[in-house]
With several copies, the nearest count.
Chain A
Amino acid sequence: MSDDGKQATMPASMNGAHPDAAMRSLPDNLAVKCPKCRELLLGKDWERNLKVCPKCGHHAQLTAQERIDLLIDEESDFEQIDRDLVSNDPLKFVSLSGTDRSKLDGLADSTGLKESVVVGSGIIDGLPVMLVIMDFRFLGGSMGAVVGEKITHAIEIATYERIPLLIATASGGARMQEGVIALMQMAKTSAALARMAEAGVPYIVLLTDPTTGGVTASFAMLGDVTIAEPGALVAFTGPRVIEQSMHIKLPKDVGYAEYLLAHGMIDGIVHRRALKATIARLLHLYDDAEKAMN
């Protein structure tokens, strides 16, 4: 993977995402602060730059919708499935910090989401792909029964239809409030991916900031090809937790995309502006292979 941030440019022909259009969520003249270097930017510049800081290169989190708009062809529709699935609080979880039910309702209002993952099919550079896009805003992208079900369903459809699967991760891990049910979603999704691998249908992982815990230790690390956005935190145990529990000070890069690349865990780091073109290139390679088989 040669598309690191330095050399990444998006070929005009593949610039189907039309990011300018996609990112229109902030008023143009609202000032935005880079979450990393605190640089002040105008909202329109921030969005034109795909929420990548022009000063420090920080790739800020995208919402699921922004990510979908960035990736799929402008003229194509995103066909969402399982949109209405919600948790019925299987453990009747007794929280010390208020009921989670009201929290969920609040989240649903503020994000327009019913869960931390959006799942559906779309077209990227003319090729169909099944998309699983996590949204960190919804309970830290945590995985409970609904997330596991939606992802498993997407994997099964992709396998059955022989359409490549792209999962963009962003998650703090399994959802504590659903206990072992949440934990088991790691196994459930991995089992579906085993069948997908057996069927020889491609699975691409895009790791975005942050991805930790049980999501990292399941489908996030099972891609046929795995790419990450620059600077994305991707770990099982995050560096802050390691520092606290081991009482040590870690090197600055531990747990970030560049560190994973150096340690053989991912194929490449791709600047957000090159993301669609990179994924499209990969999809075409697999598409050619699939055609050659028939």
Chain B
Amino acid sequence: MLAFDLDFEKRLADVDKRIQGLQKKGSKLKGDERVKLNEYQQELETLMREVYGNLTTWQTVQVARHPKRPYTSDFIDLMCENFFELRGDRRYGDDRAILGGLASLDGETVVILGNQKGRDTKERMECNFGMSHPEGYRKVLRLLRHAERFHLPVITLVDIPGASPGLEDEQRGIAQAIAENLMVMSALRTPIITVVIGEGGSGGALGISVADRILMLEHSIYTVASPEAAAAIMWRDSAYAASAAEAMKITAKDLKQLRLIEEIIPEPLGGAHQDKAEVAASVKSAILRHLAELRRKSTEDLLECRYQRYRDIGRSAIANLPVGALP
């Protein structure tokens, strides 16, 4: 069954309601009703193509944040076998906003980890609505080192509104925890692939996504700051979030065009939540394809490419840049 919960999906929801009304009748459906059903279904598909083919940035944000969107736990369940969760940072705690461990991906052992938002209210509270504490980033750090020790590729799944902005987070050094991960990931001696599956917000997202390849689901976003925060910072009013989202170029398409990501992974029509199995299969096959490529590189080559990947970012955004003047 499809789900249409967003405000811009009202027309889709209306048609879907009519379809469901008819479908309820099952075998008792009359001939003309069967024709109608067929018509409605065609109409729905056309509408979906129209709406989802032309999502505004703000609509994309809504889809990326859809409460039914598949989470890291769903992707792990659907893509991997023998998931063995690794918990705790060995320092302070076990942040439930990060879910990670060892798993078998198509027969290959990997470290897979990602942001976990939590589905119901209780889970959302436990996961701090997906916003990691410092101990979450330090758990990631531990898993990264684990991966490096056993030459396991690292898969990270990004779905975080932003790092946790609380008093405790400042106390225990959220900035330090993120910064350390950036440094460690940039030089980790094993392949890293990041997939943005929902929203990738700010340094909180970056802290698990310095990678050899960054892939984004079609309707996911990746941004320097949440649109609300950016609007508040730039224009002193978070009500301008939609304008900020648009201006900051945060969609997969924008970022592919800016050459900041390697690939856009298509979603089922209507968004990833309409068919989790299908989207998981697409993500899995994209990961495996990139992994095979990365596996062909020597470690030194891998690290040099990763360095240059980041070294180059922003250079085309600079005027007056001397050419070839690096030491």
Contacts and interface: CB of A to CB of B under 8 A. Distances in A.
A289 B313 contact: no
Indicate the member of A87, A225, A254, A267 with the most B CB atoms within 10 Å. Answer: A267
A218 interface: yes
A187 B260 CA distance: 12
Contacts of A194: 183-184, 186-187
Contacts of B91: 264
Contact of B87 (A176, A242, A267): A267
Nearest to A280: B82
Interface stretch (A44-52, A65-73, A118-126, A243-251): A243-251
B149 A188 contact: no
B314 A261 contact: no
A254 B170 contact: yes
Contacts of B178: 217-218, 236
Contacts of B86: 1, 225, 267
A109 interface: no
B174 A184 contact: no
Nearest to A282: B84
Interface string A257-273: 00101111111100000
A202 to B, nearest CB: 7
A248 B167 contact: yes
Contact of A264 (B93, B187, B207): B93
Contacts of A236: 163, 165, 169-170, 174-175, 178, 203
Interface string B76-106: 0000001111111111111000000111100
Contacts of B150: 200, 202, 224, 286, 289
B179 to A, nearest CB: 4
A292 B109 contact: yes
Given A181-B260, A242-B167, A85 B318 contact: yes
A267 B327 contact: no
B272 to A, nearest CB: 21
Contacts, number: 291
A263 B102 contact: no
A175 B314 CA distance: 12
Interface string A1-23: 11000000000000000000000
B2 interface: no
Q: Chain B: interface secondary structure?
A: mixed
Contacts of A153: 326
Interface residues of A, number: 93
B170 A289 contact: no
A191 B187 contact: yes
Interface string A209-244: 000011011111110110000000001110101100
Nearest to A179: B248
B89 A264 contact: yes
Contacts of A149: 314-315, 318, 321
Contact of A176 (B92, B93, B104, B234): B234
A121 to B, nearest CB: 12
Contacts of B125: none
A166 B94 CA distance: 23
A262 B203 contact: no
A116 to B, nearest CB: 14
6 contacts: A177-B247, A181-B258, A197-B149, A224-B150, A265-B88, A293-B151
Given A187-B313, A264-B88, 4 more contacts: A200-B151, A225-B84, A285-B104, A292-B108
